[in-house]
Amino acid sequence: MKLLVLLLGLILNFSTPAFAQLLKEKVLIGRVEWISLSDIKIKHKARIDTGAKTTSMHAINIEEVEQRGELFVKFQTLDSEGKVVELVRKIGTTQRVSNTSGFVTRRYVIKEKIKMGNIEREVLINLNDRTKMEYKFLIGRNVLLGRFIVDVARSHVLGD
């Protein structure tokens, strides 16, 4: 009986005008969406991961460099055609990230302007070797919270 009351309460709550307004304010996306970096020609499929705190981008040969007295990170990634490109970005911070096995790594975090569909914004992205992973970008909660609703049954809701 308690379960029935709880379910009825949830159904009624999700059918309220307030819930309808909440849905209007958010953008529906699928489990995979196209993402591009605004200032360079990089466009990839990105996996949407509500369990990941921070967005992650494929990067290899990552090294810290100093330029004009400031710390930068130099790394290689893949462009839209799969060719290696080298980028240098100012280090925003570093973060410790635990994978699903509990292994902790330290990653550089950069600020980058990304675009998903017609939505463009500057976000924090950690750099990680995603060579063995299907998706070179992972969109985490730092992009999703308060802005998107994820429909895991769909992909490419925002288009190409």
CA 67 to chain CA mean position, Å: 28
| Spatial CB neighbours of 121, under 8 Å, sequence gap ≥ 6 | 113, 114, 143
3-state helix, strand, coil in the chain (%, to 5): 15, 50, 35
Task: List, in order of start, the domains of the chain with CATH numbers.
Answer: 27-151 (2.40.70.10)
Taking only the tens place, the pLDDT of each residue in 18-40 is 555 556 678 999 999 999 987 77
Taking only the tens place, the pLDDT of each residue in 121-152 is 899 999 999 999 999 999 999 999 989 999 99
Taking only the tens place, the pLDDT of each residue in 41-80 is 788 999 999 999 999 999 999 999 998 888 999 999 988 8
| Count of helices and strands (H, E) across the chain | 3, 12
In the chain, % of residues over pLDDT 90: 58
